[in-house]
Amino acid sequence: MSKIMKNLVRLIGITAFFCLALSMFFSSCGTSGKDARSYLKADDTPTPTANTNSQPAASAPAGDKTIPETFTLCKDSLSEYGETAFNHANHAFKNYSPDGKSVMGCVECHHTDQPKSALKPPYVTSERDVVMTNDVWKASSQKVSNCRTCHFQDGNVPDGKTMPVATVTDAGKTGSKEINNEVAYHVNCNTCHDAAFKLRPELKSKPGFSTSKDCTICHKSQ
């Protein structure tokens, strides 16, 4: 009888051990299945592959960085002469100095974009602490004033504004006058073109080149 009891106890122990082992096995399988499902769910949205050849995006220049290659001057002039085509790209980036040996500085036209200490008569207004160059312009958030910020057409001066006045030489005549839009263009353009013609008379044969005496080469009849 004691032998039977011992065998029974042994059988019960083996059965219990077997049940415990099965329980642990299924428990382990259940956890692994859950982990696998979580990985599969994560893989529904694959991680983008890093592009080792990509370059950092260049930061956009500050301010308004659009420069028209060409534009029209004297659009609403009251003069008997018509509009004038102007090629900004040529004047800004080619050797258009009077002697033809260098690029003109921006402040030859944009004269307010330099320190007050750098201004030469008849210029008196300064809007920038450094002399504007192409590199300075690219790095700055400050916009460049156009001619009509200060030089208005006759009969079209905004309220609270006054026309600049200076002693200038225009078409060979010197005197004090309001520097309206037309006078500003004539003083700037004619002075430079006349100086270029004096240094390089051969320019006279270049299509489109004019001096202060050649109005109709620049102006289109209305």
Give pLDDT tens digits for 64-118. 577 889 988 887 777 788 889 999 999 999 999 999 999 999 999 999 999 999 9
List pLDDT tens digits, range 170-187: 667 788 889 999 889 988
Asked if the structure places residue 15 within a domain, the reply is no
Asked if the structure places residue 42 within a domain, the reply is no
Sign for the pseudo-dihedral over CA of 117, 119, 122, 127: negative
Asked if the structure places residue 61 within a domain, the reply is no
Asked if the structure places residue 184 within a domain, the reply is yes
Asked if the structure places residue 16 within a domain, the reply is no
Asked if the structure places residue 119 within a domain, the reply is yes
Q: Extract the tokens encoding 93.
A: 């980036």
Asked if the structure places residue 170 within a domain, the reply is yes
Count of domains in the chain?
1
**Domain range for 90:** 70-213
Residues near 182 by Cβ (< 8 Å), separated by ≥ 6?
A: 74, 77, 79, 153, 154
Asked if the structure places residue 44 within a domain, the reply is no
